[in-house]
Amino acid sequence: MRKKLWIWQLVLLVAIFAFWHVATHPELIPPFVWDNPNRAAFFFGEPVKIFKVIVEWFAGGEIYPHLWVTLQETALAFVIGSVLGLAIGLWLGLTPFASALLDPYIKAMNAMPRVVLAPIFMVWFGLGIWSKVALGVTLVFFIVFFNVYQGVKEVSPVVLNNATMLGATRRQLLRYVYLPSATSWVFSSLHTSVGMAFVGAVVGEYLGSAKGVGYLIHMAEGSFDINTVFAGILVLTIFALVLDFAVSAAEKRLLVWRPTQGETEQAL
Amino acid sequence: MTASVSLEKITCTFASKSGEGSYTAVRDVDLAIADGEFVSVVGPTGCGKSTLLNVAAGLLRPSSGSVKIHGEPLAGINRRAGYMFQSEALLPWRSALGNVVTGLEFRGEDAGAAREKGEAWLERVGLAGFGDRYPHQLSGGMRKRVSLAQMLILDPQILLMDEPFSALDVQTRQLMENELLELWSANRKSVIFITHDLEEAISLSDRVVVLSAGPATRPIGEYVIDLPRPRDVSEIRLTPRFIELHDRIWHAMKDEVLKGYAQTRNRTTS
Ligand SMILES: Nc1ncnc2c1ncn2[C@@H]1O[C@H](COP(=O)(O)OP(=O)(O)OP(=O)(O)O)[C@@H](O)[C@H]1O
Ligand SMILES: [Mg+2]
């Protein structure tokens, strides 16, 4: 069943590209929307040419520095945002006064569309990677923060009492009970926060930079090179999929203690 | 001689969530456990047994009354006591072995030595080879046994046990009971043992305390169990003296159990 599904997914992918090719390639079929046979290709690109661009990028090695920059920005934004979110989430979760005091400010900052901060970050941190990292951090931080805050509030009181009776000091409670509980919540939001770090990096590059896949797309748009734009988008999508895959693998290793449904082995 | 644990005129009143009204779970409870004594507390469900144990552990401050440990008033957590909780209390993110050695780690003991000790304890509770399982991969009874090892590895002077074996099947339960008795007689700890099961209470204890039904629970009877030691919990149940004690205590309890059941029902339905 699993294997079959995989085959069907591949068939669907091929079908999509086949349709794309047939619908956009000039004079392959009679034009049905626009009179000019080249119009469709102008708007939607041509899969064959797109793949050519991608192959050239990888074969010529031109893409690697850009991918590397995007990856760096994503990873830095994720790590810094998570650590900040974890630290501040733990702190506010454990100090009711501070959390009551800061509550409206946090809500306001979370409600603000943070993409508009990108130009400010460019002024502050320049056109290098740090302005993109900063944008990613603002996106990642709130996801992690809210999860950790919730995680701290929902630590089982019996587990806390048990650790206390086993002789835990306040510090040890933090390290042995609150932190693992909070990190498990961080991991449960891992997919979203890695995704957000990526969004921050690419949007930042798109808005102004000299490197990165977002920058490639921006440059191609400037010259109406639609095939290159689509090639960039495809590369980004595959990149995101690989990231997501890595996250799933990490999750599996780090959350072994978590009960999941149906862990029995099935005879095939 | 000063008692190991003594609860003096303990009253616990819980404010209800809605703000108005309050519920007095226990009132004016006096209970003293001598050094090295094994005392069981029985009483109808919801009468306040866990509440009393939390007070003795220092986890719950009574509304009035005082707790003395070896004659000294208890302030904060009772550091001499080990507590085995009624509900799940293991750290879900630590393996069975990790859970057992948690207390040793808190004390800052050497990791290698702690590990060795932990393995030995797992073996003692019949879980050798299960050290790397996480709590969710263990059965309810296995988790209870990990909890037992987790508490006993620290060698506390006072054991507070809240229905520790109620999740176990009869055979395992009797094995654990015998194991507990053996450990206890090796170096006499003071034990407060809470249970629903009168037979378990009699077969383990030096003394059985019967609590009335709530609200305002208090002890209504104390019975010295003069059965000889060492005991085997399954054999002792067949002796005439056991049956006689059981009859006496059960008669005293029956009315309270019925009352407690009716009251719990009224509280939930009204
Ligand atoms: N934090 C609390 N807030 C309000 N009421 C409480 C609280 N804790 C306990 N109670 C009430 O106090 C009473 C005694 O509770 P307790 O848990 O001590 O009962 P118990 O004797 O241990 O029962 P069981 O044998 O079922 O475990 C119950 O009626 C319960 O509803
Ligand atoms: Mg209870």
- pLDDT tens-digit series, residues A36-77: 777 777 888 888 888 998 999 899 888 899 999 999 999 999
Residue B26 above 80 pLDDT?
A: yes
CATH code for the structural domain at A47-267: 1.10.3720.10
CB contact under 8 A, B59 and A161: yes
More confident call, A254 vs B119: B119
Residue B269 above 90 pLDDT?
A: no
Of A166, A177, A257, the CB nearest to B134: A257
> Which residues does chain B have within 8 Å of residue A188's beta carbon, measured at their own beta carbons?
none
Report CA-CA distances (Å) from B185 to B144, B191, B201, B204, B235.
21, 11, 16, 11, 18
Give me the pLDDT at residue B114, please. Answer: 93
**Residue B99 located in a structural domain:** no
**Residue B51 located in a structural domain:** yes
Q: Summarize the confidence of residues B51-57 as an average pLDDT.
A: 93
Question: Secondary structure of chain B in the HEC alphabet?
Answer: CCCCEEEEEEEEEEECCCCCCEEEEEEEEEEEECCCCEEEEECCCCCCHHHHHHHHHCCCCCCEEEEEECCEECCCCCCCEEEECCCCCCCCCCCHHHHHCHHHHHCCCCHHHHHHHHHHHHHHCCCCCCCCCCHHHCCHHHHHHHHHHHHHCCCCCEEEEECCCCCCCHHHHHHHHHHHHHHHHHCCCEEEEECCCHHHHHHHCCEEEEECCCCCECEEEEEECCCCCCCCHHHHCCCHHHHHHHHHHHHHHHHHHHHHHHHHHHHHHC
Q: From the CB of B50, is ligand 1 less than 6 Å away?
A: yes
DSSP class of residue A262 equals -
pLDDT digits (tens, 9 = 90+) for A94-114: 888 988 898 888 888 888 888
Nearest CA to ligand 1 atom 17: B50
Q: From the CB of B14, is ligand 1 less than 6 Å away?
A: yes
Domain spans of chain A, in order of start: 1-44, 47-267
Residue B237 above 80 pLDDT?
A: yes
* Preferred mutation among A162, A256, A261 to probe B, highest tally of B CBs within 10 A: A162
Q: How far is A98 from chain B (nearest CA, A)?
A: 25
**Residue B102 located in a structural domain:** no
Residue A265 above 70 pLDDT?
A: no
**Residue B152 located in a structural domain:** no
Handedness of CA A226, A228, A230, A232 (dihedral sign): negative
CATH no. for residue B17?
A: 3.40.50
Question: What is the total count of domains within chain B?
Answer: 1
Residue A3 above 80 pLDDT?
A: no
| CA-closest candidate to residue A213, choices A223, A224, A225, A203 | A203
> Which residues does chain B have within 8 Å of residue A187's beta carbon, measured at their own beta carbons?
none
More confident call, A258 vs B120: B120
Give me the pLDDT at residue A257, please. Answer: 79
Query: A23 and A41 in contact (C-beta within 8 Å)?
Result: no
Least confident of A20-34, A249-263, B45-59: A249-263
> A48-57: long-range contacts (C-beta < 8 A, 24 or more apart)?
A48/A21, A49/A227, A50/A227, A50/A230, A50/A231, A50/A234, A51/A231, A52/A227, A53/A227, A53/A228, A53/A231, A54/A231, A54/A234, A54/A235, A57/A231, A57/A235
CB contact under 8 A, B106 and A165: no
Residue B58 above 80 pLDDT?
A: yes
Q: Is B94 on the interface with A (CB under 8 A)?
A: yes
Report CA-CA distances (Å) from B153 to B10, B39, B157.
30, 21, 12
Q: Is A41 on the interface with B (CB under 8 A)?
A: no
Give me the pLDDT at residue A263, please. Answer: 52
Residue of B nearest to A263 (CA): B137
Residue A266 above 60 pLDDT?
A: no
Q: Is B121 on the interface with A (CB under 8 A)?
A: no
Of B57, B89, B106, the CB nearest to A158: B89
Q: From the CB of B257, is ligand 1 less than 6 Å away?
A: no
Q: From the CB of B164, is ligand 1 less than 6 Å away?
A: no
Band (B2; pLDDT cuts 50, 70, 90):
confident
Averaged pLDDT score across all residues of chain A: 87
Give me the pLDDT at residue B253, please. Answer: 81
Give me the pLDDT at residue A88, please. Answer: 92
Q: Which domain holds residue B41?
A: 5-77+209-269
pLDDT digits (tens, 9 = 90+) for A135-180: 999 999 999 998 888 888 888 999 999 999 999 999 999 999 999 8
Residue A15 above 60 pLDDT?
A: yes
Least confident of A234-238, B211-215, B238-242: B211-215
- Angstrom distance (rounded) from CA A73 to CA A78: 8
- Distance (Å) from CA B52 to ligand 1 centroid: 10
